[in-house]
Structure 1
């Protein structure tokens, strides 16, 4: 549906809400009153709701218009130029997602000449080159990539507005896209998803697994609504907000029957064995390194760097390697005694697990409901004082403290 929307008509809707009449809106957006009226009727038919009550004193926005107008304003802010059309937005995003004109044509059903023309017109409207030939293929200029991100964020806002209107109509539809870093998948995220689905069975939930570097750009592009996992210190930038949910204290894990099992090992004992650790630059690697540096010991041998819990588990079971993980990540393996908790990490070595969102992100009603379930799961799913770590509720109180 959104592909058939007219950006000029959307701009007029926002102007009517802001100014109170079609006459004032027509002057503000440089469209004739008949064109606005016709476009408004078409948009209302597409949405299946009235956006305005036509009164003698002017146009009274309905609840649907009050939900949609802020989304339109935010989308238009991302797009920037009033000369840009929805067809041009669609063409640029299709080319970015397809990687070639042939693939973009297959994705959209539009002919390649039509796509070429739309992108050429867009470059003229923006007064910048967006696409350039590179050998036998194409590439995007720096400005082109900047506009791709802007258009993706605009699309996300309009889709959120559409979802809010469907919710207003009594239909629990929409989609929540979540980036899941390793620890979040162990307990808290599944608890939140299960509780949310029971309340909103009609809402689609899409979970993308990955490391921080694989997820942060999709979040910035608007392809992900939020990321759940270990927070970054320092934060990843002023365009991303972090909310702590709970503290996690990792443990040293080895196989059942490991030489250090059940013997209260010293840090020197731990340093004498080879390790599997997460890649450098991750919070868990930094904790592992600090664990030995604070003890005044040289770092142990690390033949394998790995961020996959599944792979680490299999490697541990068949060797004398050690690793540092949250017990939640290998809870089943510990309960079945495939793996053994060799020791707790030293006191103070904790990770802050939380949620990352784009700065200024305005969740829809169902997205806000999911975030609330995530907060509840964090409070319920982490035992107070487990292994000496503060409870999730304590973390939230710390986060709210001045």
Structure 2
């Protein structure tokens, strides 16, 4: 297998057609098609099927695609390392970030990183670990700062905890149920929540089941982004559930409030997650150092905003 063949396979998978793949990697359609034919001939396996709307990867193509992404990702990291050794640090660092981290600590981390590595371009994905793990697995992301849970496949990933925090129930200011003190008083309400597909049962147990609270499933709506969840919570009587540190962000605290319920909910852990089978490149290592520096400095700060944030966190470093 040759590098240009793997690049062609990845481009086709990303773009959905040979024409778009050729534009992406800057070669002719004939060259892309030839690369795929050569790869199929070498492997003696069909990698693509063609239809009126474009091309699709076969089962064999999808299997090879995962390894192709990993190999190209490793090559990109190697090129970045060599450039760094020449004293010309440049390249592209992709990372994932937990939404509340993105609104609190990330801006200062990015600013510090840009001072240290101004030639490295950042691509930052906001979202749950369900978004980050597939990218970490296929090599298109080097690190993520997000939820470390028992469900994470530890043999594949290395997890370095930063801090723990509690989850809390929230509502809009002035909500009719704002003074309620038990989850059992809220079971007739509509909820809007944000959690991965695979976590429905564990989420329902975490918020309701562990307290012996039974809620009709039609009362629980899912929003596929934090912004959707926040908008629906603020502008309707829907209740929601979020990390307590989120309520220290002014733009968030102005829109929703914490309900002081008697029940305690989950204690979650945020950590730095990297693929276990690959060494983070120099840019990723620098970004991790910037995270640790900002966290340690702000945890000792006397500023009111920092104190509000770190009062909700249990430091684990």
Task: With the length of structure 2 as denominator, give the TM-score of the two structures.
Answer: 0.83
Query: C-alpha separation between the residues in 2 aligned to 1:192 and 1:184?
Result: 10
Q: Which residue of 2 aligns with 1:140?
A: 57
Q: Deviations over 1:25-65 (max 9, x none)?
A: xxxxxxxxxxxxxxxxxxxxxxxxxxxxxxxxxxxxxxxxx
Is 1:332 matched with 2:250? yes
Q: Which has the higher contact order (CA 8 A, sep 6+)?
A: 2
Q: How big is the shift at 1:229?
A: 1.7
Q: Which residue of 1 aligns with 2:210?
A: 294
Tell me, yes or no, if the aligned pair for 1:180 and 1:207 is still in contact at 8 Å: yes
Instruction: Give SS of 1:235's match.
Output: coil
Distance change (3 Å), C-alpha of 1:373 and 1:347: farther
2:175 aligned to 252, 255, 258, which one? 258
Task: With the length of structure 1 as denominator, give the TM-score of the two structures.
Answer: 0.67
2:21 aligned to 104, 109, 113, which one? 104
Distance change (3 Å), C-alpha of 1:253 and 1:345: farther
Q: Which residue of 2 aligns with 1:323?
A: 240
Q: How big is the shift at 1:259?
A: 2.8
Q: Deviations over 1:93-148 (max 9, x none)?
A: 23222221222222233333322222222222233322233466322222222222
Query: C-alpha separation between the residues in 2 aligned to 1:298 and 1:115?
Result: 56
Tell me, yes or no, if the aligned pair for 2:143 and 2:284 is still in contact at 8 Å: no
Q: Which residue of 1 aligns with 2:33?
A: 116
Tell me, yes or no, if the aligned pair for 1:385 and 1:391 is still in contact at 8 Å: no
Query: C-alpha separation between the residues in 2 aligned to 1:362 and 1:349?
Result: 32
Q: Deviations over 1:292-334 (max 9, x none)?
A: 3232221266252214332232222333222111233342245
Distance change (3 Å), C-alpha of 1:152 and 1:267: closer
Q: Which residue of 1 aligns with 2:134?
A: 217
| RMSD between aligned residues | 3.0
1:184 aligned to 78, 101, 104, which one? 101
Query: C-alpha separation between the residues in 1 aligned to 2:30 and 2:40?
Result: 15
Q: Deviations over 1:218-242 (max 9, x none)?
A: 2222111122222232224633333
Q: How big is the shift at 1:279?
A: 4.0
Query: C-alpha separation between the residues in 1 aligned to 2:147 and 2:15?
Result: 32
The within-5 A match list for 1:2-401 is: 84-134=1-51, 137-236=54-153, 238-261=155-178, 263=179, 265-279=181-195, 281=197, 286-287=202-203, 289-299=205-215, 302-330=219-247, 331-333=249-251, 335-336=253-254, 338-343=255-260, 346-347=263-264, 349-380=266-297, 391-392=314-315, 395-396=316-317
Tell me, yes or no, if the aligned pair for 2:183 and 2:261 is still in contact at 8 Å: no
Tell me, yes or no, if the aligned pair for 1:279 and 1:285 is still in contact at 8 Å: no
Instruction: Give SS of 2:280's match.
Output: coil
Q: How big is the shift at 1:362?
A: 0.9
Distance change (3 Å), C-alpha of 1:161 and 1:290: closer
Q: How big is the shift at 1:178?
A: 0.8
Tell me, yes or no, if the aligned pair for 1:249 and 1:345 is still in contact at 8 Å: no
Q: How big is the shift at 1:278?
A: 2.1
Instruction: Give SS of 1:247's match.
Output: strand
Tell me, yes or no, if the aligned pair for 2:171 and 2:240 is still in contact at 8 Å: yes
Tell me, yes or no, if the aligned pair for 2:167 and 2:265 is still in contact at 8 Å: no
Q: How big is the shift at 1:206?
A: 0.9
Instruction: Give SS of 1:133's match.
Output: strand
Distance change (3 Å), C-alpha of 1:345 and 1:325: farther
Q: Where does the alignment leave 5 or more consecutive residues of structure 1 unmatched? A: 1-83, 397-402
Larger relative strand fraction: 2
Specify the structure having the higher radius of gyration (Cα): 1
Q: How big is the shift at 1:249?
A: 0.8
Q: How many residues in Structure 1 have an aligned counterpart in Structure 2?
A: 309
Instruction: Give SS of 1:252's match.
Output: strand
Query: C-alpha separation between the residues in 2 aligned to 1:211 and 1:173?
Result: 28
Q: How big is the shift at 1:378?
A: 4.2
